[in-house]
Structure 1
């Protein structure tokens, strides 16, 4: 089972706090995962389908708690091996169904959600919860952080974006081949979203994996940094010893100043030490010692240039 399915299974068991929240959650769920059916004389019905059994039960429960008319419930088997079944809730077009869809602000489309209470935070959370159950997805926390809500309704997507930003979540919106995608790509944002829609267990799992992941990343960064510094130390030591060897082979070692000879002998006695360790052992400053090795390098380079002529 994917992490997104785990989240949907959990929030499908969240009970709306009141009738207004139930209407908001049901409206978003049906808008995201349902489609209107046109009948005669301007009557409309709706068909909602999902592959998640818990979400189908939640949609049916909220509908029955809200309206007297009973939806038709069907199960369509997957066509391929191990393909998930689809659960279909269908309300045929009628005068009653048209009135219900108007109450849910799903019809007419020009007035979507104008009767739904989205002023209270509880209703806003319920609305986001319904939208996620109907067409949401979230990555496993082990991978990249990504939560998305995909819909073919631009106005609905814009409303979702507005609500997410009311909660100060770093949500963005884009279009994808005729559909509209509202998404969050920050760990803190995804984590907060899971809290807001009532996915407490998923939130704990997400944060647990995220903490371990970030600790590993921090350890890797430290190790990589220390490895890079160690490599720099080794490269510097090898280069300095080579310069000293070039000067000794040329017979000019004794012509160097006592200070440069002191630095050369210090390196010879401590072939693997860092500049900081050499400076500490000699009582010199790190910059002062580096300046001496730079002069030694200049002498070695001049000797090599003379040998090439």
Structure 2
């Protein structure tokens, strides 16, 4: 079962606490994944398609409980994708138009509503139920162990903006993206996704997201540390190679025996330990020298080699 299906399965088991919340959830379910057909004055039928059995069960349960409407369920199987598809049909029947008005899908005298049903969203329970229905109908959530995000696909710009506003009242900052005639409301922040899951009632899956977030954070921290260490080692190796080249030039142009004792000692330990950093190299001396002291010896060596290569005069006196 995909992560999305697991979330929708948990949401299907959430019982809206009030009739208004039940109406809000059914309204979003029908609005997002349903198709309304007009058959004349006050005559309508509805077709609702979903690939999730839990969503189909929720729609049928709420439809029967709230309105006692006649429904027909057809289960089809895709040979190509080997998945089931559920088609719920609510045929033309008495009072269906009144029920659609109660769901805020029809506006008396004005036809199909373009925005969200504000009359059903006056309470926090109603808003949570509405967002829950919208996600169950058109939502997708990626596995949090990978490239994590959540989105809800809807039609109608006014409705999409209204849904974003409703999600905002639940503490969630959502973004809207226009895609080929439809709109995708999406979240990428772990905090927003976790907050939305909890608000909709998917507390168990919200905990799964939190665990995945902690694991990903630890993994990223380890990777950063490893990358930093690798980069440090690469810089140290490059610096050591440059120092060995400098020592070879000093040996060729001056002769190590003519170098000041401290500089000569630096050359000896560097040649013997090409893999060490300057700080670690200083610990090889007796007595040990600090990283700063080793750096100053390196600068002195650079100065001596530079002077010889520029003037051709080899130093005759050893200096400390």
TM-score by structure 2 length? Answer: 0.85
Which SS does the other structure have where 1:40 is aligned?
Answer: coil
Contact residue 33 and residue 50 of structure 1 kept, 8 A: yes
Q: What residue number does 2:193 align with?
A: 190
- Alignment partner of 1:170 is 2:173: yes
Q: What residue number does 1:124 align with?
A: 127
Contact residue 105 and residue 117 of structure 2 kept, 8 A: no
What CA distance in whole angstroms lies between the structure 2 residues aligned with 1:187 and 1:114? 29
Taking the TM superposition and a 5 Å limit, the aligned residue runs for 1:160-309 are 160-268=163-271, 270-279=273-282, 284-300=289-305
Listed one character per residue, the Cα deviations across residues 23-52 of structure 1 (whole Å, up to 9, x for unaligned) are: 111111111111111011143232211121
Long gaps (5+) in structure 1: none
Distance 1:111 1:214, change over 3 A: closer
Contact residue 29 and residue 131 of structure 1 kept, 8 A: yes
Give the 4+ runs in structure 1 shifted more than 6 A: 304-307
TM-score by structure 1 length? Answer: 0.88
Which SS does the other structure have where 1:132 is aligned?
Answer: helix
What CA distance in whole angstroms lies between the structure 2 residues aligned with 1:239 and 1:46? 77
What CA distance in whole angstroms lies between the structure 2 residues aligned with 1:224 and 1:115? 52
Query: Which stretch of structure 1 is more off in the superposition, 271-280 or 30-39?
Result: 271-280
What CA distance in whole angstroms lies between the structure 1 residues aligned with 2:249 and 2:155? 73
What CA distance in whole angstroms lies between the structure 2 residues aligned with 1:238 and 1:78? 66
Shift of 1:298: 4.7
Q: What residue number does 1:77 align with?
A: 76
Distance 1:170 1:290, change over 3 A: farther
Contact residue 171 and residue 195 of structure 2 kept, 8 A: no
What CA distance in whole angstroms lies between the structure 1 residues aligned with 2:67 and 2:15? 17
What CA distance in whole angstroms lies between the structure 2 residues aligned with 1:189 and 1:304? 64
Q: What residue number does 1:101 align with?
A: 100
Which SS does the other structure have where 1:23 is aligned?
Answer: helix
- Alignment partner of 1:141 is 2:144: yes
Number of aligned pairs?
Answer: 306
Taking the TM superposition and a 5 Å limit, the aligned residue runs for 1:47-86 are 47-71=47-71, 73-81=72-80, 83-86=82-85
Listed one character per residue, the Cα deviations across residues 1-28 of structure 1 (whole Å, up to 9, x for unaligned) are: 2111111111111111111111111111
Contact residue 26 and residue 62 of structure 1 kept, 8 A: yes
Q: Point out the structure with the larger helix share.
A: 1
Contact residue 23 and residue 116 of structure 1 kept, 8 A: no
Contact residue 46 and residue 90 of structure 2 kept, 8 A: yes
Q: What residue number does 2:16 align with?
A: 16
What CA distance in whole angstroms lies between the structure 1 residues aligned with 2:136 and 2:303? 70
Query: Which stretch of structure 1 is more off in the superposition, 139-148 or 111-120?
Result: 111-120
Contact residue 151 and residue 157 of structure 1 kept, 8 A: yes
What CA distance in whole angstroms lies between the structure 2 residues aligned with 1:218 and 1:66? 51
What CA distance in whole angstroms lies between the structure 2 residues aligned with 1:301 and 1:128? 73
Q: What residue number does 1:156 align with?
A: 159
- Alignment partner of 1:44 is 2:49: no
Distance 1:110 1:27, change over 3 A: closer
